[in-house]
């Protein structure tokens, strides 16, 4: 049932999914809802969001620990979204965006999704730090990357094409942060001509 809820939520949003539809989609008995989900629709949708994002966070962890270059890491981050779109013929989108839009009046779901977005952004920031970005620059880059991916998912579904995701991947992969030289100035900090002369001495 949780998997069915995750699929339907990505297709229709929170408000577009009823409990009866989840039961029908899963083929399970209706009586099991109350037994396994005493918290009702909020509990079911909360668990469904976590299931829907499992692959995403797995790829983020891989990008953080296994990628040897920033372009490779960006590719790992984008890959699960591309698979989602292609495997489901562009019918499914991001459950986080769907929940934020639909569940503004549900504080429990809003807080849960807010925490997941923060976790995603923090993990992506670690990727940038691993490849030489300062913590401040990594925070900015990961925030922009998350925003770009969410927009690309909407465009991809509208166009029924992965081109928007491909564009986002190429854009961020080509903008690797310059590593900070050991003992040298932060590359994001401007250096005056006098300072350059002093450092060269």
Shared domain for 85 and 149, answered yes or no, is: yes
What pLDDT shows up at residue 178?
56
Shared domain for 73 and 156, answered yes or no, is: yes
CB atoms < 10 A from the CB of 189, how many?
9
Shared domain for 48 and 147, answered yes or no, is: no
What pLDDT shows up at residue 191?
41
Is 110 part of a structural domain of the chain?
yes
For the cut 60, the answer to whether the pLDDT of residue 40 exceeds it is yes
Q: Give the Å distances, CA to CA, from 71 to 87, 126, 177.
A: 24, 15, 11
In which domain, by residue range, is 61 found? 53-177
Shared domain for 101 and 156, answered yes or no, is: yes
What pLDDT shows up at residue 28?
76
**Which own/partner pairs from 111-120 qualify as long-range (CB within 8 Å, at least 24 positions apart)?**
112/46, 112/49, 113/49, 116/49, 116/50, 116/53, 117/146, 119/57, 120/56, 120/57, 120/60, 120/96, 120/146
Shared domain for 61 and 93, answered yes or no, is: yes
Q: pTM for this structure?
A: 0.76
What pLDDT shows up at residue 8?
82
How do residues 58-103 score in pLDDT, each as one tens digit? 888 988 899 999 999 999 999 999 998 999 899 888 888 878 877 7
What pLDDT shows up at residue 177?
58
Is 162 part of a structural domain of the chain?
yes
């Amino acid at each position: 049932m949780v998997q069915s809820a995750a699929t339907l939520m990505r297709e229709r949003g929170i408000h577009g999914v009823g409990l009866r539809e989840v039961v029908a989609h899963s083929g399970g008995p209706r009586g099991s809802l109350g037994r396994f989900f005493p918290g009702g629709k909020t509990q079911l949708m909360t668990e469904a969001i976590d299931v829907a994002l499992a692959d995403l966070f797995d790829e983020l962890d891989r990008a953080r620990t296994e990628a040897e270059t920033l372009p490779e890491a960006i590719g790992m981050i984008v890959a699960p979204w591309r698979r989602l779109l292609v495997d489901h013929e562009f019918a499914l989108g991001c459950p986080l965006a769907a929940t934020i839009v639909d569940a503004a009046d549900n504080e429990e779901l809003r807080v849960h999704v807010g925490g997941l977005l923060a976790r995603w952004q923090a993990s992506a920031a670690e990727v940038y730090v691993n490849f030489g970005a300062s913590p401040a620059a990594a925070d900015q880059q990961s925030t922009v990357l998350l925003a770009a991916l969410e927009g690309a998912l909407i465009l991809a579904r509208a166009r029924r094409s992965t081109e928007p995701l491909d564009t986002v991947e190429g854009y961020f992969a080509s903008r690797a942060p310059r590593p900070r030289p050991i003992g040298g100035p932060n590359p994001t900090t401007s250096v005056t001509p006098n300072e350059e002369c002093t450092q060269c001495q």
